[in-house]
Amino acid sequence: MIALFIIIITLVFTYQGFRDFLFFDKYKFHVFPVLLQKDYKRLLTSGFLHVDWLHFFFNMYSLYVFSGLTINIFGEAKFLILYLGSIVGGNLISVLIHRKDDGYTSVGASGGVFGIMFASIAVFPEMDLRIIFIPLALPAWVFGLLYLGVSIYGIKSNKDNIGHDAHLGGAIVGMLFAILFIPEILQENLWVILLLLIPSLVFIYIIVTRPYLLLIDNFYFKNNQQHDTIDERYNANKAKKQHEIDEILDKIASKGIDSLSTSEKAALEEYSKRMN
């Protein structure tokens, strides 16, 4: 019942995000508003938004598939805590990794879904798991290890638009909640838990504190050589946006409002909303 409730709430939230860009922009995960404006609600609300219906379907299908087992293990109240906590935890990892990237945004329930999935793996590491559309069953701990490897590679390479950091963070938080809720699994499945947790935590520590050791040729490494503070980058970004608005207003004065492009009209509307 609780899983169905989450799916319905996510459906409503996602649909509203599709209809209203300002609503989507207000509740998506965005590094700068979280760090500078203390807009912490985004750590949770972004988990109820999606970029398209396919994104929504895969997340909610995965949630549905794992919900029965996880609720049987932990109960509905702890299931809800686990799901929401993994969304927040995944986004906190994103804050750490992307704290120098003022343009980084993300949405999706993947952090919560992977939290539930890896909490189940921590309790039942030997159960069989099947990858969707692939008729091959793997022991859960093997599947978990492979997927953590994919997430780590995805964060390191930074070659796609998938939020691998939220996946990794959600998985870690999910396993930690499983230990908190059922401490006995530390004795029963210690080797699996350590096999999954230690490489993930070491990777996060390195990418946050010493990204150059990973030879990362992307935003994290390049900006490691810069010394601007987050406030300085925020002010520079704010000045850039103000300059863009000034150019739009000059264009209206000289050619009229009908001369604006769709993107210019959207930027002007967003600016007007923020000024009200």
Q: What is the pLDDT of residues 238-253, one digit of tens each?
A: 556 666 777 777 777 7
Q: Answer whether residue 194 shows pLDDT above 70.
A: yes
Q: How many CB atoms lie within 10 A of CB 171?
A: 32
Distance, C-alpha 128 to centroid of its chain: 27
Neighbouring residues of 126: CB distance < 8 A, sequence distance ≥ 6: 139, 140, 141
Range in 125-134, 222-231, 252-261 with the lowest mean pLDDT: 222-231
- Give residue 220's pLDDT: 47
Radius of gyration for the chain, computed over Cα atoms and rounded to the nearest angstrom:
21
More confident: 76 or 100: 76
For residue 106, give the H/E element and its range: strand 105-106
pLDDT at 234 over 90: no
Q: What integer pLDDT is reported at residue 177 of this predicted model? A: 96
User: How many C-beta neighbours within 10 Å does residue 195 have?
Assistant: 16
Q: DSSP of 24-91, one letter per residue?
A: HHHHSEEHHHHHHS--TTHHHHGGG--SSHHHHHHHHHHHHHHHHHHHHHH-HHHHHHHHHHHHHHHH
The highest-confidence range among 12-16, 94-98, 164-168, by mean pLDDT, is: 12-16
- The ranges assigned to domains in the chain are 2-221, 230-275
pLDDT at 224: 42
Stated as kind and residue range, the H or E segment containing 129 is: strand 128-130
pLDDT of residue 87: 95
Mean pLDDT of 98-104: 77
The pair of structure tokens assigned to 179 is 């230990």
What is d(CA 176, CA 57) in angstroms, rounded to the nearest whole number? 27
Mean pLDDT calculated for residue range 144-160: 75
2-221 falls under which CATH superfamily?
Rhomboid-like (1.20.1540.10)
